[in-house]
Amino acid sequence: MSEDRSPFVENPTPPGPCAIVIFGATGDLTRRKLLPSLCNLAARDLLPKDYAVVGFAFDKLDEADFAKSTSDGVRALAAEGFDPAAWDRLAQGRLFFQQGDFEQPQGYQQLKELLATVDRQCGTAGNYLFYLATPPRFFGTIVEQLAAAGLTAEIPTALNLPSVWRRVIIEKPFGHDLESARELNRRLAAAIDESQVFRIDHYLGKETVQNLMVFRFANGIFEPIWNRRYVDHVQITVAETVGVEHRASYYDHAGALRDMIPSHIFQVLALVAMESPTSFDDDAVRDEKIKVLRAVRPLRDDEVLTHAVRGQYRGGKVAGEQVAGYRESPGVRPDSPVETFAALKLHIDNWRWADVPFYIRTGKCLPERISEVVIHFKRAPLMLFRDTSAANLPTNELILQLQPDEGISLRFQVKLPGITVRTSPVEMQFCNKDLFGSWPVTGYETLLYDAMLGDSTLFQRVDFVDTAWKILTPVLDVWQSLPPRSFPNYIAGTWGPKEATELLARDGRAWRLGST
C-alpha cells in the first residue's frame, strides 16, 4: 500500500526514517548505480532525515574500510558531475558494515543486532530496505535467511498500515525461464508478502519511460488515434553499441532475449499499449500493464521460425573501433549458441490493437546506442495526390526516444515551395535536455525513493514476470531445440542479421533505423 503520493508531485518530501541494507555492498552495482543514486538523492534533500546505509558482503572489511571505500567511491563521481559533498555531509556516522556469508545464518543474526544499534543511533525506527545487489542465485536464500532471522516481519498498526516496514528490492534477472522464475517467486512468497517485494527494472526509472504515461494520458490529442484504426504498426528498438563486456559468465547463459525482453522491453511495450489506469495508484497501473501482456498472442512453434529472429555478432567496427566477435570475447564459449540480437513480431489480441504488429528488437554491437518506440500511423488516403510525384507519401511517425537523447518527435509531410506539388518529410521535435537541461542521473534515484515510500508502481509485480516468461517460452523452447546453424550471422556495427530486415520486409515495412 503506498503512502499518499502522486508520481507527479512538484515538491517531493524525503521519505520517513529507514536503513538501507545493501547485500553485495562491495560489488559493481553498488559502486556504479546505488551510491551515485544515493548521492543524487542526498543532493536534492530526498534521503530520509533519519537514515543509515548498512553494507553486507562476504569481503572481510570493517566499518572504517567500508566507510572509506564508500566515500571514495562517491567522491570519484564528482568527475562525472555528481555532488559528493551532499553525500559526505549526510554520511557522517551513518555507514555501517556487516561481514557475512549469504548462505549462513550467523551473519544474519549479527546483522539483526547491528540493525538494532543502527535504529538507536540513527533513529531508523526499524524500517529496513534490503537491496539485493548480488548474483541472482542468492536471491531466494537471502530472503529466506532474512525471514528466518526475523528481519522481514512488519509490525502493523491498529489502522492496518505497517508502522514498521520491511522491503526487499531484487534486480533482474527474475529467473532464467518460466520454471525458474516460478521457483524463485514461490520461495519469495513463502518467506515474505508480495507487497514487500520490489522487483526493480531500471528502465522504469528512466525519465522518458515514465514520460510515456504522461505523454499518453496527460494529453487529449494522442489517445483518440492510439489504436488499430490509425496505427499501422509499432516498433520498439533497444540497440546497444557495447558488446558482452566483462559479463560473459552471465550473458553467455542468458543471451539477448532473456536479458532485455521480458523485463525492459515488455515494460515499455506495456506502457505503450495499455489502457488508461483509473489512478496512478501502484496496483491500478500494474493491473493495466498485465492486461497487455496477457493479451499478447503466444507464438506457435512454427511461428517462432517466422516471427522470431536471433543473431550473434562477428568481429567488425563499431563507431570506428575494431571489436572482436562475440565468440572471441573473454569468457564466451568458442562455439557459443547464445544470441546477442533478438527480434520478434508480436500481436496484442484486444480491441485496441487487433492486427497491429508490434516489432521489437534488441542487440549488442549495433551501430548506435538508441532506445526508441516508433508509432507508425496508417497512410493518408492518397486520392488527392494520385497524379503527382507525391503519390508515394511516407507515413507519419511518432518517435518516442528513450535514450540517449530523450525526446519526442513527429514526422509529417509538407509541401516544398514551388509551383508543382512536391512533398518533403519534416520533423517536429521536443528534446528533454534542450528544454529542461540535464544533470547526471543513474535512473535508480526515483526507484530507490519510491521503494522507501512503499510505492511499487514502477516495480514489476509477480504476475508480470510470470506472464512475460510465458510469452517467451515457445521461443526459448524452439531455439533450444534447434541450435543456430548460421552463427555468427551479423557483423559488429551493423543492424543485426538480414532476417531481421526480412521480418518487416515480408510485411512491406522497414525498421526506422538502418538494416543490414
Residue number, 240 or 288, with CB nearest to ligand BG6:
240
**Residues contacting 187, CB < 8 A, separation 6+:** 140, 143, 144
| Residue of 202, 233, 264, 376 marked catalytic | 264
Strand, helix or coil for residue 247: coil
Strand, helix or coil for residue 208: helix
- Residue 488: asked if its preceding bond is cis (omega within 30°), the reply is yes
Exposure string over 314-336, b if 16+ CB within 10 A, otherwise e: bbbebeeeebbbbbebeebeeeb
Q: Per CB under 6 A, which of residues 176..205 are in contact with ligand BG6?
A: 202
Residue number, 252 or 259, with CB nearest to ligand BG6:
259
Burial of 480 (0-12, 13-18, 19+ CB in 10 A): exposed
**Residues contacting 4, CB < 8 A, separation 6+:** none
In the chain, how long is the greatest CA-to-CA distance?
84
Q: Could you tell me the CA-to-CA distances from 246 to 28, 252, 267, 381, 481 in Å, in that order?
A: 11, 11, 26, 52, 28
Residue type, 265: I
Question: Which of 377, 452, 443 lies closest to 211 in space, CA to CA?
Answer: 443
How many residues bind ligand BG6 (CB under 6 A)? The answer is 4
For the CB of residue 206, give the shortest distance to ligand BG6 in the complex, in Å: 7
Residue 460 near residue 201 (C-beta atoms within 8 A): yes
Residue number, 47 or 451, with CB nearest to ligand BG6:
451
For the CB of residue 242, give the shortest distance to ligand BG6 in the complex, in Å: 6
Rg of the chain over CA atoms, in angstroms?
Answer: 24
For the CB of residue 240, give the shortest distance to ligand BG6 in the complex, in Å: 5
Q: Per CB under 6 A, which of residues 322..381 are in contact with ligand BG6?
A: 371
Indicate which single residue of 144, 232, 252, 259 sits in contact with ligand BG6 (rule: CB under 6 A).
259
Spatial distance between the Cα atoms of 344 and 346, rounded to a whole number of angstroms: 6
Residue 29 near residue 22 (C-beta atoms within 8 A): no
Nearest position to ligand BG6, beta carbon: 259
Task: Tell whether residue 240 is a contact of ligand BG6 (CB under 6 A).
Answer: yes
Residue 66 near residue 138 (C-beta atoms within 8 A): no
CA distance from start to end of the chain: 48
Spatial distance between the Cα atoms of 339 and 117, rounded to a whole number of angstroms: 49
Residue number, 371 or 423, with CB nearest to ligand BG6:
371
Catalytic site includes residue 246: no
For the CB of residue 201, give the shortest distance to ligand BG6 in the complex, in Å: 8
Burial of 153 (0-12, 13-18, 19+ CB in 10 A): middle
**Active site residue ranges:** 264
- Where on the chain is the footprint of ligand BG6 (CB under 6 A)? 202, 240, 259, 371
